[in-house]
Chain A
Amino acid sequence: MILEKVSEFMEKRKPIFEDWKHTFYLWRKTKLATVGTIIVLIFVVVAIIGPLFVPYDPIVQNMKDRLQPPSFQHFFGTDQFGRDIFSRVISGAMIEVEIIIIVSMISGGIGLILGVLAGYFGGVVDEVLMRTTDMFLAFPGLILAMAFAAMLGPSLINTIIAISLVGWTVFARLARAEAMKVKNQPYIESIKALGAGKTRIISLHVTPMCISPVLVQLTLRMGTVILTAASLGFLGLGVRPPLPEWGAMVSDGRSFLVEQWWISTFPGIAIAIVVLGFNLLGDGLRDIMDPRLRR
């Protein structure tokens, strides 16, 4: 009985399953995407459980242990305040995860809502939104983010706001394009004929269709988000010490670079590996999505 239901369900959705199967096959065949996925998973796991296992407090200063080179006591050495760099790098992962998640929610959310409204209503609303995105896209992203961050004042929350304010345009354009496609589908016509209101159509039928392209794009841009946050931190416009943000940590070690190379080196390697993971995953995703390469 249940088995029958299941097989009926599977039969009805066969094209979808076939498509998933194909996507999974392509993902497995795209070795770089697999490597990227593994790096990202390790990063997330480290961010979540890492702080429970770090050997030293990442914030508290310990002047008698300052500027120690890497050793068995301090894998990555210590900085000018005697803090263990290994512990700081591990704790810093959570800050990057926080930034990624909140930025994605804010910029993805704003983009999705504005994009869907513009795409659905068209006309003046659409024109205004499109020109606004043009204006935001006229700036190189980091430079606009720098201006926002500096004016808001350097802090973790302001870094997040600044990056979100710069990033939403891409998602708005995507959601708009998708909403325009969806609103002309026959099933929307028939729902209208049944008397559904605008709010209901937009929230229950149009928006859900626009979510998946926005999600994919969010994944593609996570590497850039980390780099932007780290750059702001490095320039002194983002997350401020003593919080262990990786970019700010690289900046901390600048004046000690020649004699105590480890202070700047290890946080930089952490950024490079994590961003590489996201970018490999993103590159693979783009391959999988590209109809020209999807053979």
Chain B
Amino acid sequence: MKLGNYIIKRSLLMLLVMFGVVAIVFAIVHVIPADPVGALLGGNAPPAVVDRMKEQLGLNKPLFIQFIDYIWGVIHGNLGNSIQSGRPVVQDIMEYFPVTLQLSIVAIFISIILGIFLGIFSAVYRNKWIDHFSRIFSILGVSMPVFWTGLILLLVFYYILGWLPGTGQLSLFVIPPERITGMILVDSLLTGNWEAFWNGLRHIILPAAVLGYAATASIARITRASMLDVLTQDYIRTAKAKGMSKKVVIYRHALKNALIPVVTIIGLTFGGLLEGAVLTETVFGLPGLGRYIVNALLNLDYPAIMGGTLFIALIYSLVNLSVDLIYAMLDPRMRA
């Protein structure tokens, strides 16, 4: 019952937060002075043209009315039309987002697996060279700028060694699978297009590795701390006193207990992945939501900026909400 109340409370809070998020996005675009029409038409457009453009975009109305209009649109799933593409922003997002989603999913698998193993090694060999090595290795991941790591990997694995394909989602000679989910790997599996699957997989290795490696450090860190905490518990001493081997003590007795707090960090990690996706998509030329937002920002495409940022915030908040709920369910005090 406690859990039920918690879910309701968290969901209501999220609604309020989303309202605030819309307000922030609106304020960024409308209150901070910059000139969208000027950017669109160039500095020397005649005043009459500027006025007509403003009217088209609804920028001539009072700010408050514009805000109400926008909120009304958001509630009805209408984020306006992109100035650049001329299409509804929602439609653009639906096209670009699956690319980001696919990249993030592969990356988060890499970071969870890598992070948990590094964390365990660090904890078990605390203050030995393995610990130092694995900590430096994971911290290096979060310290190297993602855009630079991506460039260097492209240089080495594509240009110099030629082991992996370059930018983009698929090579030009590969026939893309029919669009079902928008995620190339999933669609090619569903349609049995093995050539596209293999090619897509080879294309995603570098960006996902760059992104996943960057997100490893926080997972490795919390796994290490949690594992160190668990390893000093009385029941671990009992297991050792029973003559259990080191492997059994670590993987059977300690790991299960140590992984519970790791769940909490995954939500935050996902935020880091979305940030990193903006940069990796730019470097690797992937048509994802991150690159969509960057393009919108560079061209002051207001509806696309607002819609894209809003959507990212929504996804991020939903992930955090579900992580909180999962953790609440894992916590025995909440279950009771």
Contacts and interface: CB of A to CB of B under 8 A. Distances in A.
A and B touching (C-beta < 8 Å)?
yes
Interface of A: 29, 31-32, 131-132, 134-136, 138-144, 146-148, 150-153, 223, 227, 230-231, 234-237, 247, 250-251, 254, 257-258, 261, 264-265, 267-268, 271-272, 275-276, 278-280, 283, 286, 290, 292-293
Contacts of A276: 136, 139-140, 143-144
14 contacts: A31-B127, A32-B135, A131-B20, A135-B24, A140-B312, A141-B275, A143-B278, A148-B28, A231-B145, A268-B152, A271-B148, A272-B148, A275-B143, A283-B139
The 4 closest A-B pairs by CB, nearest first: A268-B148, A135-B20, A150-B297, A142-B275
Given A138-B317, A152-B34, A272 B309 contact: no
Interface string B141-170: 011111111011011000100000000000
B316 A150 contact: no
B148 A146 contact: no
Q: How large is the interface on B (under 10, 10 to 19, 20 to 34, 35 or more residues)?
A: 35 or more
Interface in B10-25: 13, 16-18, 20-21, 23-25
A141 B312 CA distance: 11
Contacts of B34: 151-153
A143 B309 contact: yes
Name the residue in A147, A148, A231, A279 with the highest tally of chain B Cβ atoms < 10 Å from its Cβ: A147
A252 B198 CA distance: 33
B172 interface: no
A136 B21 CA distance: 7
Contacts of A150: 297-298, 300, 305
Contact of B155 (A231, A257, A267): A257
B309 A144 contact: yes
Nearest to B309: A147
Interface stretch (B1-9, B55-63, B221-229, B327-335): B221-229
A138 B313 contact: yes
B274 interface: yes
A16 B159 CA distance: 58
A32 B145 contact: no
Name the residue in A153, A231, A254, A286 with the highest tally of chain B Cβ atoms < 10 Å from its Cβ: A231
Contacts of B272: 140
Given A32-B136, A140-B274, 14 more contacts: A134-B17, A135-B21, A135-B24, A138-B316, A139-B309, A139-B316, A140-B312, A223-B143, A257-B151, A257-B154, A258-B155, A264-B152, A276-B139, A280-B136
Contacts of A153: 34
Contacts of A147: 25, 28-29, 297, 305, 309
Contacts, number: 162
Given A31-B132, A138-B316, A234 B143 contact: no
A293 B305 contact: no
Contact of B143 (A231, A250, A272): A272
Contact of A271 (B17, B145, B300, B317): B145
Contacts of A227: 143, 145
Nearest to B294: A235
Contacts of A143: 274-275, 278, 293, 309, 312-313
Interface string B301-316: 0000100010011001
B144 A272 contact: yes
A283 B135 contact: yes
Contacts of A251: 147
B32 interface: yes
B282 interface: yes
Nearest to A274: B143
